[in-house]
């Protein structure tokens, strides 16, 4: 039997301990629980938008690196995420359901729109922070973000702003926060919700709305054709490559709400071993060059937290959201929805 050099043997052993081999990510630790059959990954958004293709990339990596045999992504937009959460609620002990959690769940619960919260599920990981963008048609009379803000100061209801996927979510609240700080009467703004930001851009290109506020990956495909112009980005610093020419709200002198997050929840009553398995799996696949390239391409900010750290973050974010929603008057605005 050929023997590996000592250095290579040690490196391989270290990789196996972390769930990573020289060839990539290995199967989870031998002798532990592994998912059997199909894993259903449910997302609270429509097909073709940022929520959708980040989930599909993660599903692909889970399969590629053998953390799951088969991962099926299901799109269930609407109801402040409750439609997508229903399979997890109906199967509270099943570890074969995963859900893309966004800050929107905290927003919906904090304003009283739903009674369901992150505490009703098992946290797995937090993956990254999102960046938002404001876009208009290239022939719009609104040439800059300042033009946009000044028009809304004079006539808040004059601009139809498309968002995905519901009023009271991260998109309209984030933009309302910025505009209110700039002196706009945000109670008179016209937000038009669509099932996904992909549909929002279809509405923009069709002339049905005047502007779109969305996650940055949704804007990127529309820039090369020249039919859409980006006015501002809600991020800590200017983004690179195809968004390098678009200024941030911050550099323009406007306030921005803290970046929302994306993460993973599982059903409420899965075991600690199953929770740890999924945490280790996502920790491993998000360490790969392929995932890092995916984040960079879509202008997302890496922000990995394990299960325990995610709980602490959700609690802190919830407190921030409560304050902002109260200031904006959202706590009494949205209708009540049932959990099922």
SS3 37: coil
Q: Is the Cβ–Cβ distance between 258 and 178 less than 8 Å?
A: no
Provide the residue-wise pLDDT of the chain in tens; the chain has 340 residues: 444 443 433 333 334 334 444 334 444 444 589 999 999 999 998 888 889 989 999 999 999 999 999 999 999 998 889 999 999 999 999 999 999 999 999 998 998 889 999 999 999 999 999 999 999 999 999 999 999 999 999 999 999 999 988 888 899 999 999 999 999 999 999 999 998 999 999 999 999 999 999 999 999 999 999 999 999 999 989 998 889 999 999 999 999 998 899 999 999 999 999 999 999 999 999 999 999 999 998 999 999 999 999 999 999 999 999 999 988 888 654 433 333 2
Q: Cβ(310)–Cβ(292) under 8 Å?
A: no
CA separation for the pair 294, 287 (Å, rounded): 11
Q: Report H helices in the chain.
A: 6-18, 50-64, 82-90, 103-110, 145-154, 170-181, 197-205, 216-219, 272-285, 289-297, 307-328
Cβ atoms of 88 and 42 within 8 Å: the answer is yes
Question: Domains plus CATH for the chain?
Answer: 36-129+260-332 (3.40.190.150), 132-243 (3.40.190.10)
CA distances from 60 to 63, 133, 189, 285 (A): 5, 27, 39, 10
| Residue 267 DSSP label | -
> What residues contact residue 80 under an 8 Å CB cut-off, 6+ apart?
44, 104, 105, 108, 113, 114, 166, 168, 169, 334, 337
Give SS3 for 231.
Answer: strand
Q: Cβ-count burial of 78 within 10 angstroms (0-12 exposed, 13-18 middle, 19+ buried)?
A: middle
Nearest CA among 143, 200, 133 for reference residue 166: 200
How far apart CA 213 and CA 200 sit, in angstroms, is 9
The structure's pTM equals 0.81
């Amino acid at each position: 039997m050929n023997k590996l050099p000592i250095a290579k043997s040690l490196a391989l052993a270290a990789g196996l301990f972390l769930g990573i081999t020289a060839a990539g990510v290995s199967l989870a630790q031998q002798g532990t629980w592994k998912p059997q059959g199909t894993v259903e990954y449910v997302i609270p958004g429509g097909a073709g938008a940022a929520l959708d293709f980040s989930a599909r990339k993660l599903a692909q990596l889970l399969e590629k690196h053998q953390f799951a045999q088969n991962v099926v992504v299901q799109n269930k937009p609407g109801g402040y995420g409750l439609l997508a959460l229903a399979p997890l609620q109906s199967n509270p002990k099943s570890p074969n359901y995963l859900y893309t959690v966004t800050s929107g769940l905290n927003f919906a619960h904090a304003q009283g729109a739903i009674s369901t919260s992150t505490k009703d599920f098992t946290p797995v990981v937090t993956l990254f922070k999102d960046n938002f963008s404001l876009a208009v048609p290239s022939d719009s009379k609104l040439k800059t973000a300042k033009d946009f803000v000044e028009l809304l100061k004079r006539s808040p209801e004059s601009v139809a702003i498309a968002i995905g996927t519901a009023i009271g979510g991260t998109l309209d609240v984030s933009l309302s926060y910025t505009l209110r700080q700039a002196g706009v009467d945000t109670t008179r703004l016209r937000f038009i919700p669509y099932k996904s930001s992909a549909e929002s851009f279809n509405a923009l290109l069709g002339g049905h709305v005047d502007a779109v506020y969305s996650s940055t990956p949704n804007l990127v495909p529309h820039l090369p054709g020249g039919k859409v112009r980006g006015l501002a980005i809600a991020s800590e610093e200017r983004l690179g490559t195809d968004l390098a020419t678009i200024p941030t709200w911050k550099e323009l002198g406007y306030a921005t709400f803290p970046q929302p997050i994306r993460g993973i929840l599982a059903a409420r009553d899965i075991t600690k071993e199953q929770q740890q398995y999924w945490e280790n799996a996502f920790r491993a696949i998000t360490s790969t060059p392929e995932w890092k390239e995916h984040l960079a391409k879509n202008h997302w900010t890496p922000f990995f937290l394990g299960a325990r750290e995610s709980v602490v973050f959700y609690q802190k974010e919830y407190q921030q959201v409560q304050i902002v929603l109260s200031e904006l008057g959202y706590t009494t605005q949205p209708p009540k929805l049932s959990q099922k």
